[in-house]
Amino acid sequence: MFVRILSALPPFAALRCAVLGFIALGLAATVCCANEVLESFDGVNYAGWQVRGDAFGDSPATGTLPGQQEVQGFVGAGLVNSFLNGDRTTGEMLSEPFVIDADHAALLVGGGRDTERVFVELVIDGERVAVATGAESEQLAWANWDVREHRGRTARIRIVDNATGGWGHLLVDAITLTDEPIRAPGRDALLAAYRTSAEYLREPWRPQVHFTPEIHWMNDPNGLVYHRGEYHLFYQYNPFGIAWGHMSWGHAVSPDLMHWEHLPVALWEEGDEMIFSGCAVVDRGNTSGFGTADNPPLVAVYTSHRPGNQAQSLAYSTDDGRTWTKHAGNPVLDIGEADFRDPKVFWHEPTERWVMVVSLAVAKRLQFYGSDDLKSWKLLSEFGPAGAEPKPNWECPDLFELPIEDARGRPTGRTAWVLEVDMGGGSVAGGSGGEYFVGDFDGQRFACHDPSQPAYWVDYGRDFYAPVSWSDIPADDGRRIWIGWMNNWETHLLPTDPWRSAMSVPRTLSLRETADGLRLVQRPVRELEALRGPEVRQLETVRVLDKGEEASLVVQQPSFSPLDLVLECEVQDDGFVWLDLLAGGDELTDGELANDTEATRLRYDASTERLSLDRTRSGEVDFHEKFAGVHTAPLTLDERRLQLRIILDASSVEVFAQDGRVVLTDRVFPSPGSHHVRIGGAGAEIKKLQVWPLRSIWRDN
């Protein structure tokens, strides 16, 4: 309904607060003067509007439409959402005429960013006098038009969707006449309020030994670099909301890869440029000239994402990463492609130049470039398509040399190269995940040892994506360490608030000789062990597992603490062993948990040689239809010996089997009180069982 209702202030203010999620933090938006809501799109139809085409339907949408990322930030029951039947539909809506009787017109807008094809405009006498678009985000934000010079004139609002490709849709809501522009409470105020709240980094599902942003949305790790005693962690970040959008680089630093200090946003979205994934290096020789010989710069290489174009750009810092300047000559590598992203750069000593691996994402081809100064790049070679199919794309590559260990984990003194790359869908456990190739790199070209190699999976769980490794770890340390985004694009809208997503535990990498050839090994970094408290002594002395599905309690935790758990078993050829992690139940009888309510079950079966992680009964699983599931890895034992190391946090399980040869990472959302660990099985003998509580990285410094 297009009506002129003088909205009573308190309800409108309250609505805005509720929608933007501020009530929980006790923050009210400042609304000082009369707002006249011209259109709320909360009615059952578009009364008062002329509607053409098939993009808008007969009535306002009530939120997210099928196939769309989560729509956020609209007010009340409905909004205009032209994603009806996807981006391909088009149309136009024209309002009734109205008289401008305020200084500003404000409206919520989201979706595509194209002032010629996907926009909302204010029209007087048939002429556009103001226009607004979304920011390629499903999160609506306030747009304000200063209409003082048009006061007293008659105008109309026109909403246009004439685009059929990516981001070919618009979201519009709450068209308002107001004497003051409407602004959402600032991010800084929100963060300040959160920092002083009792819940600060203590929510029930807030990981306690994994990195998370304080508030809002995070995806891929970016710009991992070690410099002057600090590990830098940048990450894909939406400074304005809890869903993907406005991509910028968040920033944190740590002395030990465990305890993180949250720093201000390092690289902001600007104009129509979003800051997509990339890397950072210490430019020791000041080849870029951004620093000096005495103070070599940190240089970030990132993807500038603009509508229809992705190109590689630079930013630099000469104050230990605290402030960043975007290079005036950006972009430094633009080949006119729409899907060309996620550069990873390293110094290749033998050829004495920088090498970049970057992805032609939709073509599923990786390109290698060389440069002397980080500014001008020359194409060296290409790799792919290769590996798993079908997959929609390839993103976030990394390339590095690793030491090879023998089958028993002893150094051989030899090395090989690993090329890792991630697919946005179609991975081993469903949805997004990573694969890797083993071969050699001569500074020019990556040659796979086995050109016909199938996909080698990085992680058999669902929640380990876009891992990248730290640059510039000192040679006397010598480790190659990476961290991954503990989430999956298919099920990424996890039920947490006011933040979304976590990083994995940092993992040290190597290659191991196996019967099948060289395979990647990942182990939690040794720094994690420093978080261990005294070993848990309440273990029951179960040694031989012979009771099948009957459980023995290993750890009873009245309140949650993260755990580091090591289990070694000898498993007979027909034996099996399982662990119920984050298990819930009412009471303890004879060392067992009664009224079993839920658990995340890890199970190894010797007859099928399968290790599986089952989160169908792990607590909150209904928020997405693809979330509940069992994720399985093939696993052959040596001499019947099963080795497991498990890192359990408030909403994650990471399983490192056979000393890191097979890894499974899953997010889980247990009910309050589901903190226990139980063990069961048959035909298995426990050789080692150790459990340590881990101190919180946020609280127990």
Q: Where does this chain bind ligand FRU (CB under 6 A)?
A: 219-220, 236, 247, 276-277, 303, 341-342, 395-396, 466
| Alpha carbon 43 to its chain's center | 36
Residue 104's φ and ψ, nearest 5 degrees, are: -135, 150
Closest CA to 393 of 544, 277, 518: 277
Nearer to ligand FRU by Cβ, of 122 and 399: the residue is 399
Least Å distance, CB 274 to ligand FRU, is 8
Rounded to an integer, what distance in angstroms lies between the CA atom of residue 545 and that of residue 575?
A: 9
Nearer to ligand FRU by Cβ, of 276 and 324: the residue is 276
Nearer to ligand FRU by Cβ, of 169 and 305: the residue is 305
Which residues 6+ apart lie within 8 Å of 152 measured at CB?
A: 99, 100, 101
| Alpha carbon 160 to its chain's center | 32
Q: How many other CB atoms are found less than 10 A from the CB of residue 263?
A: 15
Nearer to ligand FRU by Cβ, of 276 and 369: the residue is 276
Nearer to ligand FRU by Cβ, of 25 and 243: the residue is 243
Q: Which helix (H) or strand (E) holds 233?
A: strand 230-238
Rounded to an integer, what distance in angstroms lies between the CA atom of residue 519 and that of residue 483?
A: 18
Least Å distance, CB 213 to ligand FRU, is 14
The Cα diameter of the chain in Å comes to 87
Rounded to an integer, what distance in angstroms lies between the CA atom of residue 480 and that of residue 223?
A: 15
- Give the tokens for residue 211: 């990195």
Least Å distance, CB 359 to ligand FRU, is 7
Nearer to ligand FRU by Cβ, of 197 and 309: the residue is 309
- Give the tokens for residue 693: 């509580």
Residue listed under structure tokens 């992805």: 359
Least Å distance, CB 313 to ligand FRU, is 12
Nearer to ligand FRU by Cβ, of 339 and 598: the residue is 339
Rounded to an integer, what distance in angstroms lies between the CA atom of residue 202 and that of residue 208?
A: 8
Residue 387's φ and ψ, nearest 5 degrees, are: 80, -150
Decide: 303 and 333 in contact? Cβ < 8 Å: no
Least Å distance, CB 81 to ligand FRU, is 22
Least Å distance, CB 394 to ligand FRU, is 9
Residue 220 appears among annotated catalytic residues: yes
The one-letter amino acid at 398: D
Least Å distance, CB 342 to ligand FRU, is 5
Nearer to ligand FRU by Cβ, of 236 and 612: the residue is 236
Closest CA to 653 of 513, 514, 505, 526: 505
Closest CA to 327 of 340, 341, 314: 314
- Give the tokens for residue 625: 């239809």
Decide: 697 and 259 in contact? Cβ < 8 Å: yes
Rounded to an integer, what distance in angstroms lies between the CA atom of residue 135 and that of residue 112?
A: 6
Least Å distance, CB 126 to ligand FRU, is 40
Rounded to an integer, what distance in angstroms lies between the CA atom of residue 359 and that of residue 145?
A: 40
Nearer to ligand FRU by Cβ, of 133 and 236: the residue is 236
Residue listed under structure tokens 């020019």: 444
| DSSP 8-state code for residue 181 | -
Decide: 397 and 301 in contact? Cβ < 8 Å: no
Residue 475 CB-density burial (10 A; 0-12 exposed, 13-18 middle, 19+ buried): exposed
Report the 3 state secondary structure along 538-584: CCCCCCEECCEEEEEEEECCCCCCCEEEEEEEEEEEEEEEEEEEEEE
Least Å distance, CB 45 to ligand FRU, is 37
Rounded to an integer, what distance in angstroms lies between the CA atom of residue 278 and that of residue 341?
A: 8
Rounded to an integer, what distance in angstroms lies between the CA atom of residue 150 and that of residue 474?
A: 63
Decide: 584 and 558 in contact? Cβ < 8 Å: no
Nearer to ligand FRU by Cβ, of 208 and 219: the residue is 219
Least Å distance, CB 529 to ligand FRU, is 30
Least Å distance, CB 275 to ligand FRU, is 9
Q: How many other CB atoms are found less than 10 A from the CB of residue 535?
A: 11
**Kind of pairing between the strands at 216-227 and 499-500:** parallel
Question: How open is the CA angle 594-600-606, to the nearest 5 degrees?
Answer: 100
Nearer to ligand FRU by Cβ, of 55 and 466: the residue is 466
Least Å distance, CB 663 to ligand FRU, is 19
Active-site residue, from 220, 342, 463, 614 = 220
Nearer to ligand FRU by Cβ, of 434 and 660: the residue is 434
Nearer to ligand FRU by Cβ, of 220 and 490: the residue is 220
Q: Which residues pair with 304 in a beta bridge?
A: 275, 311
| DSSP 8-state code for residue 164 | -
Least Å distance, CB 397 to ligand FRU, is 10
| Alpha carbon 18 to its chain's center | 25
| Alpha carbon 628 to its chain's center | 19
- Give the tokens for residue 639: 């001499």
**Residues labelled catalytic:** 220
